[in-house]
Amino acid sequence: MRGLGLAYITALGCLATHSLAFANETVTLSLQDRLVTVETSGIVISRNELRFGPPPGHNWQTSITQLASEGERVSKGAVLARFDASNTDDRLRRYQGDLAAAEGEIKSMFKNQAREVEEEKLRQASKKSRAGKAARKADQPAGLVPGIDYKKLVEERRIAEILWHREQARSSLTHQLREARVSEKQARIKQLRARLDAANSQFSGATIIAPRDGLVIIGVDQQGRKLDVNTTVHPGLVVVKLVDDAALAIDVEIPEHQAALIQQGQPARIILDAQGGTEVDARVTDVANTVRRQSRGSLAMIRDTQLTPAPGHEHLFRIGMSVRVSIEVEIQKGVIAIPVTSVRYRTGSPGVLMASGEYRPVVLGRRSEGHFIVVSGLIQGDEIRL
């Protein structure tokens, strides 16, 4: 036990000596050309992805009955997801029955109307014949027919002409009525066909088929949980994504105060902590035109940016992997830069320890690859502690 205690004390002494030596290590400042970088984190995404969700339908919500596996590599024609379509199937049968009944009714209506038209023609011919006969009788000279009989002939002519004109008016009105009934029935059939087409589209849309080969990524609900079979979903929610993992990009959110520094074409480095800190060259390929809220419940404003890694390193990345990103935005010439580890904060303000032990406040500028560019407080030749 005594030997162990001595070993422990010796180790502590060595550690303290090393810490003291590091604390006493100094660096002499000089003017340098420093590369200014914007450092943040990002997510590996695919530049070629297809998103699928439940089809819009009669009901706002539906449930998932079949779902491909997360990370599964599927071929064209494979089933990605299937939604409950029992209600749609019932509506399909109802619409098909209603449409068949409506089409049968309009066929019967056409037959009845054709018969009515023939009957009207016969009635019109009869009324016209009677009116003509009454007119010929009343056109005789008044002296040839006794007065009372002549007045009867004139009255019969008047009545026959009235009936003839009424029959003509009735024929015109019944023609308009028949056209209105046909238009109403045709509108009903058109409506039923539209509903049937929509139901058919929804029924076929209840099964999502992969249009090409790709990698399956399952969507999440509003709480960030992965979707699964029997989960209730609604139109507009991404249930499954089919991605091409050979076309990769890095999705980055740049804070608003640094957003103006980012431009297309700027070089960058991607640091993969999951690959032992491996660094991959990249370039900024897309920058959003505006800033947006980082999330629904956040007040932070960010600017969406996309980086494309240099070709030949696709095997190092996985969809959804988190990476660190360093974007080179400019080079500042003839400036003083101090290591991040040398900065000490007192009352919330930055400063450094001089080689003499004096604490000196400084004003810091932008970051530069593990360093801060000093705006004021230090000059060339100053010696500071790390």
pLDDT tens, 207-241?
A: 889 999 999 999 988 888 899 998 888 888 899 99
Please tell me the distance from the alpha carbon of residue 327 to that of residue 5, in angstroms, as a whole number: 50
pLDDT at site 175? 82
Q: What is the mean pLDDT of residues 378-384?
A: 90
Please, is 46 exposed, middle or buried when counting C-beta atoms within 10 Å of its C-beta (0-12, 13-18, 19+)?
buried
Distance of CA 21 to the CA centre of its chain: 58
294: Cα within 13 Å, side-chain hemisphere: 11
pLDDT at site 148? 64
Which tens digits make up the pLDDT trace of 310-323?
988 888 898 888 99
Does residue 260 register a pLDDT over 80?
yes
Q: Do 215 and 45 contact (CB within 8 A), yes or no?
A: no
Which tens digits make up the pLDDT trace of 165-211?
787 778 778 888 888 888 888 888 898 888 888 877 777 778 889 99
Looking at residue 287, its amino acid is V
Please report which confidence band the pLDDT of residue 23 belongs to, taking 50, 70 and 90 as the band edges: low
Classified as helix, coil or strand, 257 is: helix
Q: Which residues, 6 or more positions from 29, have their beta carbon under 8 angstroms from its beta carbon?
A: 336, 338, 378, 379, 380, 381, 382, 383, 384
What is the H or E stretch that residue 242 is in? strand 240-243
Q: Which residues, 6 or more positions from 193, have their beta carbon under 8 angstroms from its beta carbon?
A: 99
Q: Do 102 and 231 contact (CB within 8 A), yes or no?
A: no
Phi, psi of 45 (to 5 degrees): -130, 175
350: Cα within 13 Å, side-chain hemisphere: 17
pLDDT at site 145? 61
Q: Which residues, 6 or more positions from 164, have their beta carbon under 8 angstroms from its beta carbon?
A: 127, 128, 130, 131
**Sign of the Cα pseudo-torsion (132, 136, 137, 139, in order):** positive
Nearest to 219 by CA among 44, 90, 64: 64
pLDDT at site 6? 39
Rounded to the nearest integer, the mean pLDDT of the chain is 83
Q: Do 229 and 66 contact (CB within 8 A), yes or no?
A: yes
Report which DSSP code applies to 227: P
pLDDT at site 20? 42
Percent of the chain with pLDDT over 90: 21
